[in-house]
Amino acid sequence: MPKRLPRARTLKGDPKLAYYDFGTVVASDPVIVLAHSSLARSEDWENIFPRLATRYRVIAYDARGHGKSGRAAEYTLRAFADDLGRVLREVAKAPAVLVGHSLGALAALVAAAEAPALVRGLVLEEPALGYAKAWEPARYATLREALASGDPAALAKATAKQPLPSPGPRGERTYGELRGFYAAERVVTYFRDIDPAFIDARTSADDPTAAALVSDSLAAVRAPALVLAGEPRLGGAVDDASEWKLKKLPDVQIRRFPGSGHLLHGFRPEQFIENVEPFLRKIREA
C-alpha cells in the first residue's frame, strides 16, 4: 500500500492525462476512480487513496490543465467528463465506482449517465450543480497574475491570500491562515501547475452547455449514488434546491457533515471513509 500516491503514469492523448494506479483487482470488487475538484490535483486525495487501496484497486488522475496533465484549448464540463470517460475505458478497463469532489463530482455524474455499463456507483462529494455560472474574476485575479508571472515568490504570496472555498474548521478564510492538509505551503503545489487559461475560462463567461448537461445526467443516471455534503451556511455547495434535484436520482443516499463546508475529505478524512466504506461494501455484495 502506498503511503501517499504511487508513481505517476501517463495516458497518451489530447490532452495527456497523468494518473496514479495501485491495487489488485478482485472479481467482485469495483475499481475506484478519484476525480478532484477545480484548482486541485491528485495529491488532494493523499489522505484517502491509501485507505481505499488496502482493499480496492484505486486510480486517481489529474484533470486537464491541472497537476501533471496536459493543458488544453477547452475547459468545459463536457471536456472534463470526456476525460473521465477516457480514464474509465483506457485505464480502469472495468466497471468502477466514481468518487468525485465538486467539479470532479459533476464529471462523474456525466460519465455515469453516458457510460452506465462502466459505472457501478457514484460518490458525489459536494457536487457543484451550479458549475455553469462563471466565477467572480476579482476572487482569482491575484492568483491568475501570479501564475502568469512565473515568479514562485509571487505565487506563494498569492496562495496565502487566496480565499478558501469555505471557511476552515476554526473559521479561517484564506489558505495562509491554515495549517496541516490545506496549508498554503502545500496548496501552492496544487496551484503552480494550473493552466492560467483554465482560470480565464471560468471567470470570463458561463459554461454554455453545463447546466443542460447536469440536468440531463441527473435524469439519466441509474447507478446507486452517495452524496456527501457540507452545510450551505458554511459554504457547502448542496443547498436545498440542489438537494431536491439530487433526490430525484433513483437510488441515492445524502449524508450531511455538520460543521463542514465545501472541503470534506481534506478536513474530515475519517468521517469521509466511514461514510464511503459501507456504500462500497453494499456495491461489492450486490
C-alpha 27/C-alpha 78 separation (Å) is: 31
Let me know how long the chain is: 286
- Give the rounded distance of the alpha carbon of 231 from its chain centre: 18
Element housing 6 (H / E): none
- Tens of pLDDT, residues 145-189: 999 999 999 999 999 999 999 999 889 999 999 999 999 999 999
CA 256, distance to chain mean position in Å, is 18
> pTM of this prediction?
0.97
H or E stretch at 29: none
Each residue's pLDDT tens digit, 89-117: 999 999 999 999 999 999 999 999 999 99
* Euclidean distance between CA atoms 24 and 105, whole angstroms: 25
Q: DSSP letter string over 94-161?
A: S-EEEEEETHHHHHHHHHHHH-GGGEEEEEEES--TTTTSPPPHHHHHHHHHHHHHT-HHHHHHHHHH
Domains of the chain: 9-133+208-285 (3.40.50.1820), 137-197 (no CATH)
